[in-house]
Structure 1
Amino acid sequence: MRALYRPISRTIQTSGITIQRCLYSTHHHHHHHHHPHPHSSKADFKMSYSLHHPHSNYKHGSEKHEPIIFMHGLFGSKMNNRGISKMFVKELGRSIFALDLRNHGESPHITPHTYTAMAEDVEHFIKDHKLENPTLIGHSMGAKVAMAVALRSPDLIQDIIAVDNAPVNAQLGRQFGQYLQAMSRIEATPIVNTKEADEILAAYEPSLPIRQFLFTNLLKPTKSDDRFRWRIPIKILGNALDEMAAFPFTPGEKVFTKPALFVRGTTSKYVADETIPLIGEFFPRFQLKDVEAGHWLISENPEEFKNVCLEFFRREKEE
């Protein structure tokens, strides 16, 4: 069943809407694998990332000027947003750092898994890499990380784009807990191939593109370890689900007075209309845009997502 792992671009019919999804292979280039043990020291905590830069005017150092920092959602990684990153690089001439947040992708497994800790990680990343005036773009969990950085350290960044999440305590979709159950079951079952893993997961998640997205986290057996196992620490993430539904600030506590774009999927429930006044209390200069899509709107409708972001960036330049 190698097919699960190749980059798959397929068009899916969902109730008459055609969605182009691109799912990326788990084969990395130029990144070494390391599976650190959970630890909590800041000093040797290195975040894994990919850098996309405009080739035309690329001089070493220019990637630090007004870059975009892209942050994935729960169970995602820096591989998720490659397609959209390449589009932005081409359209904007800005470089993009796609991060692996802690406990995701190739970044270290480390507790606690909280928005405050993840915001600190990103702040350290900006300082360590001497990035000037970055824009933060985050999806889902990554959106709340972007909001937390903006409220904690407004001077470090120029603006944020929060994709399908709001600065509120709100139930996570039930599916995330179910994915973790399925992942534990897969890890506990002596499966022989990815097809068997997919059969277990299909009982929890009928959508093939979402299953393929989750399987970017599955490590195949190696010579030293003959089991299928997960790249991400499912125990740490399982314990953090309530934390991921929360938000570490209450209105009135802090405010981000620079521009903020909130993008939501028309068929997603994550940014309910009643949260809009709350967004305004934290982010008085926010704009809200709807994109025809569900929660995974960047992969479901990259074209419309790209357009609302470009409009936001261009508007600022004119201000």
Structure 2
Amino acid sequence: MRTRIVRPAPTVVRSIIASRCYTTASRISLAYDLHEPANPASDAPGAIIFMHGLFGSKKNNRSISKALARDLGRPVYAVDLRNHGDSPHHSRHDYTSMAKDVAGFIEEHTLLDTTLIGHSMGAKTAMTLALRSPELVSDIVSVDNAPIDAALLSSFGKYVQGMKKIEDANVTRQAEADAILKDYEESLTIRQFLLGNLHRPEGEKTQKFKVPLKILGVALDNLGDFPFRDPGEVRFEKPALFVRGTRSKYVPDEALPIIGQFFPRFRLADIDAGHWVISEKPAEFRHAVVEFLKPKM
């Protein structure tokens, strides 16, 4: 791992599940797992909110959340963003809406000096909230995404097609679903990640996906966009860490100047990984985050 500055004990876990249903409310109450440190640090700042990427959920970040709670002595809230995991579904799925949900979460739980950590979709949500409401955020960690418009990998569209085919097939076992998904994704690890969204609704024999495939399929075209265009109008003047996978395309070198304009106090940590930085290199990721967030002497 290479880090550079660029300037222009077991945890206690409590799980809260929001009622997973379709809602028309403008702000969604997010489901979450709370990972509390066994030995809270007396001089530590506030809580950490950890946000997953597209098709992910709070359970994907369980291990790293526990590790950060332990290492930093801070509570970590791993949340399910709207249309994911156990959080409600909504027809609108964009970064402004997701940022408003997280702002509401901070206010609902009366959190202060909050750190935002987000991967991919969660990273752009963190960036959006930091720029929109900097008074709610102490610092951010953006994992393999940048404040630029960039098309999503074409594989995400293929995943939606494969997942829809699985639902149409009325599968009863995960092995059946995996056999279908093989036509859309070769990697067993990624297939397992996607199939982690499968569940059997109460009273039904067949398995369905927790995520609303139609809503997310429509949202794909816009999830590569970033809602802010002009860093001359808005910027986040507090610390920010951008962690990028050096074998990923989402944070190219040419994006670094625009990152510096929106986030003038940012640091960059390069990790030899693809887009799935946290799962590919968890130790290196944890080290980069702890070094960034540990109290400065």
TM-score in same-fold range (> 0.5): yes
- One-letter identity of the residue aligned with 1:181: Q
Q: How far is the alpha carbon of 1:220 from its aligned partner?
A: 2.6
Q: CA deviation at 1:102?
A: 0.3
Displacement of 1:40 in angstroms is 1.9
Matched, 1:200 2:180: yes
Q: Tell me which of the two structures has the higher relative contact order, counting C-alpha pairs closer than 8 angstroms and 6 or more residues apart.
A: 2
1:30–1:93 CA distance, 2 compared to 1 (3 A): closer
Structure 2 Cα separation of the partners of residues 29 and 122 of structure 1: 18
Matched, 1:253 2:253: no
Q: Distance in 2 between matches of 1:117 and 1:284?
A: 25
Matches within 5 A, 1:1-319: 30-31=15-16, 34-36=19-21, 38-42=22-26, 45-57=28-40, 66-220=46-200, 222=202, 224-251=203-230, 252-314=232-294, 317-318=296-297
Amino acid at match of 1:157: V
Given the superposition, is the C-alpha separation of residues 184 and 29 from structure 1 closer, same or farther in structure 2, using an over 3 Å criterion? farther
- Corresponding letter in the other structure for 2:20: H
CA-atom RMSD in angstroms: 1.9
Deviations 1:163-189 (A, max 9, x none): 000001101011111100001110111
SS at 1:245 equivalent: coil
Measured in 2, the distance between the counterparts of 1:118 and 1:279 equals 21
Counterpart amino acid of 1:202?
A: K
Structure 1 stretches (4+) deviating beyond 6 angstroms?
A: none
Work out the CA distance in 2 between the residues paired with 1:288 and 1:30.
32
Gaps of 5+ in 2: 1-12
1:233 partner letter: P
Identity in percent: 53
Secondary structure at the counterpart of residue 120 of structure 1: helix
Deviations 1:231-263 (A, max 9, x none): 110111001001211100013231000011000
Gaps in structure 1 of 5+ consecutive residues:
1-27
Quickly say closer, same or farther: Cα 1:93–1:29, change in 2 above 3 A. closer
Quick one: distance in 2 between partners of 1:124 and 1:108? 14
Count of paired positions: 283
- State whether residues 17 and 31 of structure 2, in contact with CA within 8 Å, keep that contact through their aligned partners in structure 1: no
